[in-house]
Structure 1
Amino acid sequence: MTSKEQAIEKINLHAPKFISLLGGKLVDFDVETDACQFEFNIGRDFCHSIDVVQGGFVTAMLDTAMSHAVMALNKEITNISSLEIKTTYLEPTRAGKLRVEGWAIKKGYKVAFMEGRIYNENNELTATASSVAKLSRAAK
């Protein structure tokens, strides 16, 4: 097992419970570009209109990928708090396997600007998000 695979396994083991409730797991990251990719296998329990994922859960998945892109492997950052999230729903996001990508556009000492995207099983873009978050760092 590579060090990257070990890091992904460790992050998944210590992930907040809501990620596993949504069938989520981290599958890839890139420290150089502050980007990561999650896979969610979301069930109909999180849907309305039979199989359309409720918008709050769509935003939660996007927020997960964006925040992990910034802090998952940065030991200096102890917490990330959303100041603003804007979600755009392009198509219905339906229950099933989803690929959710998040990355930092700009990361300062106290604030990060991020974006995210959700793709369905047919690789169709269903939702996007942009976010601004406050970063908390470990005392030096």
Structure 2
Amino acid sequence: MTSKEQAIEKINQHAPKFISLLGGKLVDFDVEKDACRFEFNIGKDYCHSIDVVQGGFVTAMLDTAMSHAVMALNKDIINISSLEIKTTYLEPTRAGKLRVEGWAVRKGYKVAFVEGHIYNENDVLTATASSVAKLSRRAE
């Protein structure tokens, strides 16, 4: 197992419970680009209108990828708090396997600007998000 695979496994083992409830797991990251990719396998328990994922869960998946892109492998950052999140629903996000990508557009000492995308099983972009987040760093 490579060090990257070990890091992914460790992050998944220590992830907040809601990520596993939504069928989520980190599958890849790029430290240099402050980017990561999650897969979620959403069941119909999180849907309305038969198989349309409720918007709050869509935002939660996007927020997960965006926040992990900034802090997952940065030991200096101990917490990230969303100050604002804007989610755009381009078309219904339906139950099933989803790819959720997050990345930092710009990261300062106290604030990060991040974006995210959700793609369905057919590689169709269903929702996007942008967020401004406050970074809490370890005391020196």
Which TM-score band applies after superposition, normalised by the shorter structure? over 0.9
Other-structure match for 2:29: 29
Aligned position for 2:78: 78
Structure 1: give runs of 5+ residues left out of the alignment: none
Secondary structure, in 3 states, of the residue corresponding to 2:84? Answer: strand
Q: Distance in 2 between matches of 1:80 and 1:40?
A: 21
Q: Distance in 1 between matches of 2:108 and 2:20?
A: 30
Displacement of 1:137 in angstroms is: 0.2
How far the C-alpha of 1:75 sits from its partner, in A, is 0.1
* 2:47 alignment counterpart: 47
Count the aligned residue pairs.
140
Distance in structure 2 (CA, Å) of the matches to 1:49 and 1:122: 20
Residue type at the aligned position of 1:43: G
User: Shift in Å at residue 5 of structure 1?
Assistant: 0.1
Write out per-residue CA displacement over residues 34-61 of structure 1, whole angstroms, 9 at most, x where no aligned residue: 0000000000000000000000000000
User: What secondary structure does 2:4 align onto?
Assistant: helix
CA distance in structure 1 between the partners assigned to 2:3 and 2:33 by the alignment: 18
Matches within 5 A, 1:1-140: 1-140=1-140
**In the TM superposition, what is the alpha-carbon distance from 1:22 to its structure 2 partner?**
0.1
The residue type equivalent to 2:85 in the other structure is I
TM-score, normalization by structure 2: 1.00
Runs (4 or more) in structure 1 with deviation over 2 Å come to none
Taking only aligned residues, the RMSD between alpha carbons, in angstroms, comes to 0.2
SS in 1 for 2:109: coil
Unaligned runs of 5+ in 2: none
In the TM superposition, what whole-angstrom CA distance separates every residue of 1:65-113 from its partner, at most 9, and x where no partner exists? 0000000000000000000000000010000000000000000000000
- Alpha-carbon distance between aligned partners in 2 of 1:108 and 1:82, rounded to the nearest angstrom: 14
Quick one: distance in 1 between partners of 2:120 and 2:91? Answer: 10
Q: 1:7: how far off?
A: 0.1
**What is the one-letter code of the residue matched to 1:46?**
Y
